[in-house]
Amino acid sequence: MATPEKNIVVLGGSYGGISAAHSILKHTFPHLPNKETYQVVMISAASQAMCRPGCPRALISDDLLDQSRFFVDIQPQFEQFPKDSFRFVQGTAVELDHESRTVTYRPAAGQPETISFYALVIATGSSTPSPMFSFNQDETSLRASWSAFRQALPTTRSIVVAGGGPTAVEVAGELGEFLNGRAGYFSAKLENPKVSITLVTSSTKILPVLRPALAAKAEALLAKLGVTVLKNTRVASVAPEGSGSEADVLATPTTVTLDSGETLEADIYIPAFGITYNTGFIREKDRSSSLTPEGRIHTCSATLRVEKAGPRVYAVGDVASAARPAVHNILAEIPVLSANLKRDLLTDAGVTGAAVAGEDRVFKEDTKETQLVPIGQSKGVGAGGGLRYLVL
C-alpha cells in the first residue's frame, strides 16, 4: 500500500477547519484516483473544539452549560474515516512559505517541525482581547482564564464591560442575571443591583448589526438585569495596563478612564470589543501582499482560493476576507471550498470529463440582517435573514 505523500494541510480546528476537513474526506476523497496517496493533516493549537458563541455564559460557571458538549476532542471526530486519510497534530503554525510550499509549526511539545503541503486550507480564525472568549492559545489557557475570573466573582461589586457588539451585550446580560437576578415584571430596571455592571460603547447604539428598535429592546432587557449602558463613550485607557487581557491582571481592580476624562472604578474590567485575525504565521515580507488592511487573508470571495499563494491554497472562516466573521457564513463557505478544491485536485491528477467540467462553484455572502443575541438566560433579541424580527 502506498504511503500518503500529498498532504492536504488544514490550519485550525474550529468551525472552519473541522468542517473543511470533514467535507474533503467525505466528498472529495472517494473521487480521487490513488486516494491512498493523499492525507488530510490538521494542525491546530487546541486539541479540542468548543462552542465559542456560548463563552459569555460558560465562563461564569461549569453548571450553566453541559461541559461535555461545550468542549469536544477533535481527533475522535475523524475516526469514521479510513485510518491513514487523516492525521491530527496539536501545534501552532508559525511560518508559511509560499515558495517551498511548507508550513512550520510549533507542536504542543518538542521542537518546531516543517511539513510540505500539496494543498492548504487556512482556517486559523480570530482571537479576542479578553482570553475568555476564544482559543487565544488552547483549551488549557481558556479554562485557566475562566478559573481566575470565577475566583474573583464572589467579592466583585462593580464590573465595566467595554464594547457594544453581541459579545459585550451577552456577557453583561449573563453576568447581570447570574449576579443580580432580574427585575420584576412591572419594573423597567433593577434598582440597587448587588453588582453594578456598566456597558461602555463608543457607538450611538448597542448591537450595530441590528435595527434600532432591536437595540433599544436589548438595552431595556439589560436594564432589568442591573446593567447600565453608556453610549457615545470610549474607553481611553485602563490601569493597570492590560487589565482584562493579560493573565496576571485578568480580573483585578481597574481604573477605567473614558475619553471624556471621567474615570470608573471597577473590580473587574472586561474588554469585549474587536477581534484580531490569527495570521502570525504569514512572513513579514508577505504581509502587505497577503493580508487585507484589517489583517485578514486576501481570499477570492467567489471561489475561496488564496490566489496569490500558489495553486490549491484556500481560506475559510474568520481569517478569510470572503465574508463577515460568523458561523452561518462558514457553513455556507464549506460546500464552495469543497467543490472547488475537488475540481483542483482532480484536474491536477489528470482526471478529465464531467467531474472537472463546468464552472467553479461560487460563494455569495448573505448580507441580510442576521444575529441572535441572548440577554440573560431566557431572553434575547435577534433577526434572521433580514425578514424575521423576534424578541423573546
Ligand X SMILES: Cc1cc2nc3c(=O)[nH]c(=O)nc-3n(C[C@H](O)[C@H](O)[C@H](O)COP(=O)(O)OP(=O)(O)OC[C@H]3O[C@@H](n4cnc5c(N)ncnc54)[C@H](O)[C@@H]3O)c2cc1C
Site of interaction with ligand X (CB under 6 A): 11-17, 43-46, 52-53, 55-56, 92-93, 123-126, 128, 133-135, 166-167, 278, 280-281, 317-319, 325-328, 330, 372
Smallest gap, in angstroms, from Cβ of residue 224 to ligand X? 21
Smallest gap, in angstroms, from Cβ of residue 255 to ligand X? 25
For residue 92, give the nearest of 142, 128, 133, 42 by alpha carbon.
42
**Residue with smaller CB distance to ligand X, 327 or 356:** 327
Smallest gap, in angstroms, from Cβ of residue 1 to ligand X? 30
Smallest gap, in angstroms, from Cβ of residue 181 to ligand X? 23
**Residue with smaller CB distance to ligand X, 190 or 326:** 326
**Residue with smaller CB distance to ligand X, 35 or 338:** 338
Q: How far apart are CA 337 and CA 360, in angstroms?
A: 10
**Residue with smaller CB distance to ligand X, 93 or 304:** 93
Burial code of 110-127, b = ≥16 C-beta within 10 A, e = fewer?
eeeeebebbbbbbbbbbb
**Residue with smaller CB distance to ligand X, 23 or 193:** 23
Asked if 288 contacts 295 with a C-beta cutoff of 8 angstroms, the reply is no
Q: Residues 173, 178, 179, 183: what is their CA dihedral angle, to the nearest 10 degrees? A: 70
With 0-12 / 13-18 / 19 or more C-beta atoms within 10 angstroms meaning exposed / middle / buried, residue 12 is buried
Residue at grid coordinates 518546531: 112
Asked if 50 contacts 70 with a C-beta cutoff of 8 angstroms, the reply is yes
Smallest gap, in angstroms, from Cβ of residue 262 to ligand X? 28
Q: Which amino acid is at 260?
A: S
| Three-state secondary structure call for residue 32 | coil
Peptide bond into 271 cis (omega under 30): no
Q: How far apart are CA 128 and CA 270, in angstroms?
A: 11
Asked if 119 contacts 57 with a C-beta cutoff of 8 angstroms, the reply is no
**Residue with smaller CB distance to ligand X, 26 or 157:** 26
**Residue with smaller CB distance to ligand X, 124 or 196:** 124
**Residue with smaller CB distance to ligand X, 12 or 376:** 12
Q: What is the 3-state composition of the chain as percent helix, strand, coil, each rounded to the nearest 5? A: 30, 25, 45
**Residue with smaller CB distance to ligand X, 55 or 258:** 55
Smallest gap, in angstroms, from Cβ of residue 196 to ligand X? 23
Smallest gap, in angstroms, from Cβ of residue 212 to ligand X? 20
Q: How far apart are CA 14 and CA 317, in angstroms?
A: 9
* Interacting residues of 249 by C-beta distance below 8 A, sequence separation 6+: 240, 242, 243
Q: Which amino acid is at 315?
A: A
Q: How far apart are CA 211 and CA 209, in angstroms?
A: 7
Q: What is the largest CA-CA distance in the chain?
A: 73
Phi, psi for 305 (deg, rounded to 5)? -80, 145
Smallest gap, in angstroms, from Cβ of residue 295 to ligand X? 13
Smallest gap, in angstroms, from Cβ of residue 189 to ligand X? 25
**Residue with smaller CB distance to ligand X, 7 or 193:** 7
Smallest gap, in angstroms, from Cβ of residue 54 to ligand X? 8
Q: Which amino acid is at 137?
A: Q
Q: How far apart are CA 347 and CA 390, in angstroms?
A: 47
